[in-house]
Amino acid sequence: MKPPFELDPPVNDSRYPYPVYDGGRKFYEQTRMIGDWGIGKDDGIVADIGCGPIPFPYANLLIDKNVDNDERWGHGIPNDGREIIYADLEVGLPFPDKHVDFLYCSHVLEHLNDPVQGCREIIRVAKRGFIEVPTIVYEMLFGGDESLHEWVAEYFYPTEMLIFRKLSPQEREAIKKRKEDGERFIKRLQLPGGDRYCGEYFEHQDLFTVCFIWKDNFKFAVYS
């Protein structure tokens, strides 16, 4: 299957032990939001769950559910010498408790049937890690017929709790109908030169994703 777009070549950045794929935009912006990752080059097992074609540049272990590339627009997991394990977060990861020193989990939990089970398994296998989940604003702008997620999330700061909410049938229909409006809005935000990543979006990325680092555990719930 031919990908609908090409990924930019990886960047060799001395700050990371592995290549930074697709120009590094995703990771540079996450770094801007959260600050220092607190990961050294010899910090044990650093895993990326749901890595796809743009794995975390600190990760020495790549974990993915999909052997084929249908959900990655034909882009495969890079073959750059890192260990790759195929496993399903909801079924269970093949590790003992607190086996992973740092677990990176970006844009994975919104795809699960049961994000609560996914969070429990993340906390079980990892000592600390990173979570990123899209909000309803992200879904309204970037969602479409094929890219709609099962869940959206918010972070309730008074209790420091990650809250998942399932999209209603009415919201799903509204998002599909508004896809063209969202695409026009994104084009208005784009930087000169037609870059598909836009500056204004990143200036207010907390509107679009819940993004945080956790240690030992984190709170989560499903709102219904």
Left, alpha or beta for 45 (phi > 0: left; psi -120 to 50: alpha)? beta
Task: Lowest mean pLDDT of 84-93, 147-156, 182-191, name the range.
Answer: 182-191
Closest CA to 109 of 58, 169, 164, 182: 164
Per DSSP, what are the bridge partners of residue 106? Answer: 132
- Parse the chain into domains and list their residue ranges: 22-223
Is residue 212 within 8 Å of residue 131, measured between CB atoms? yes
pLDDT(179) > 90:
no
The third-level CATH classification (topology) of the domain covering 22-223 is Rossmann fold (3.40.50)
Name the band, by pLDDT with cuts 50, 70 and 90, for residue 7.
confident
pLDDT at residue 76, rounded to an integer: 84
pLDDT(2) > 60:
no
Is residue 93 within 8 Å of residue 121, measured between CB atoms? yes
pTM of this prediction?
0.86
Per DSSP, what are the bridge partners of residue 47? Answer: 61, 103
Alpha carbon distance 110, 151 (integer Å) = 5
